[in-house]
Amino acid sequence: MADAACERWVAGVDGCRGGWLVVMRPLDDPSLARVSLKKHFADVLAMEPRAEIIAVDMPIGLPQRGGRRADIEARANLGKRKSSVFAMPSREAVEEREYIRACQTAARTSDPSRRISKQAFNIFPKILEIDALMTPDMQERVREVHPEVGFWALNGEKPLDLPKKMKVSPDQPGLAYRRGLLVAAGYDAALLAGRGGFRAADVGRDDLLDAAVCSWSAARIVRGEGRRFPGEPVPLELGIDAKGLRMEIWC
């Protein structure tokens, strides 16, 4: 491989229990991907070699009222997996620190009125961590992606029938299928076989696959092959949040 300074790099990032799991790869050689775990998203931004695109599985752009066109359009492609893309609640709801209050605020600031899941509430601190750092200019480099949308694209734009994990199945065929898609795309099977060498308390097996497919989406974006949801321009008030951030999902 050429010297790292001469390579073009991209990164895929997945929020996990231990912080932020990063799969960094040369643009043209996914087999040389490397994995790291960063405590803060600011640490991801400062990583060397510098990634041209950082594709992160975390919402960027918080609506005034719950629901984003990006979520609706991305979800429509996923078949049985559509619930993996949750309806983004309002900025006001995300800023609440208590679950009950967040649910009440989300219901009041959405139409139709909807509460939020505990799973969604648990990632609010990470959403706010990114939001505090993001600017419209930075969004040229840091793009919101979604792993299941990435796997849909990697699977020939066909929904995946198997969920990533099933409680009744010890061999997790959904994880195996997604791992196979990544290996076919050039990623090293050994790299994807575990948790990247990190503790189970910090990183799940699905986290590594999610970060890897995010890096695959990042490479597509750099090459001009990425797909954006929403696919068509939307009215300003529906597509740009209060900070001027575009509300869009890439794959």
* 164-187 per-position pLDDT tens digit: 876 655 558 999 999 999 999 999
Q: Is 242 within the bounds of a domain?
A: no
Query: To 5 degrees, how large is the angle CA 163–CA 164–CA 168?
Result: 75
Helix (H) / strand (E) containing 37: strand 34-38
pLDDT of the residue at 171? 59
The 10s digit of each residue's pLDDT in 59-97 is 999 999 998 999 999 999 999 999 999 999 999 999 999
Residue 55 has pLDDT above 70, yes or no: yes
For position 169, what pLDDT does the model report?
A: 57
The pLDDT, as a whole number, for residue 134 is: 98
Q: Are 30 and 185 in contact (CB under 8 A)?
A: yes
pLDDT in the model for residue 168: 54
Average pLDDT over residues 44-65: 97
Q: Based on C-alpha coordinates, what's the Rg of the chain?
A: 17
Note the pLDDT of residue 164: 86
Q: Is residue 163 part of a domain?
A: yes
Check whether 158 has a pLDDT greater than 60: yes
Q: What is the pLDDT of residue 4?
A: 59
Q: Is residue 178 part of a domain?
A: yes
Tens of pLDDT, residue by residue over 109-142, are 998 899 999 999 999 999 999 999 999 999 999 9
Distance separating the N- and C-terminal Cα atoms of the chain: 27
pLDDT reported for residue 238: 72
Write down the mean pLDDT value for the chain.
94
Question: Residue 49 is encoded by which pair of tokens?
Answer: 């070699």
In a domain? residue 116 = no
Q: Domain containing 212: what range?
A: 4-60+142-222
Contact between residue 21 and residue 13 where contact means Cβ atoms under 8 Å apart: yes
pLDDT tens, 189-248?
A: 999 998 999 999 999 999 999 999 999 999 999 999 999 999 988 877 679 999 999 999
CA atoms of 133 and 231, how far apart (whole Å): 26
Q: Whole-angstrom Cα distance, residue 114 to residue 66? A: 8
Place of tokens 């050689």: 29
Residue 242 to residues 41, 62, 238, Cα–Cα distance (Å): 21, 8, 11
- Count how many domains the chain has: 1
pLDDT at site 3: 55
pLDDT in tens, 4-42: 556 999 999 999 999 999 999 999 999 999 999 999 999
Whether residue 204 lies inside any domain: the answer is: yes
165 is a domain residue: yes
- On whether residue 133 sits in a domain, the answer given is no
Distance between CA atoms of residues 74 and 84, nearest Å: 10
- Confirm whether 137 is domain-assigned: no
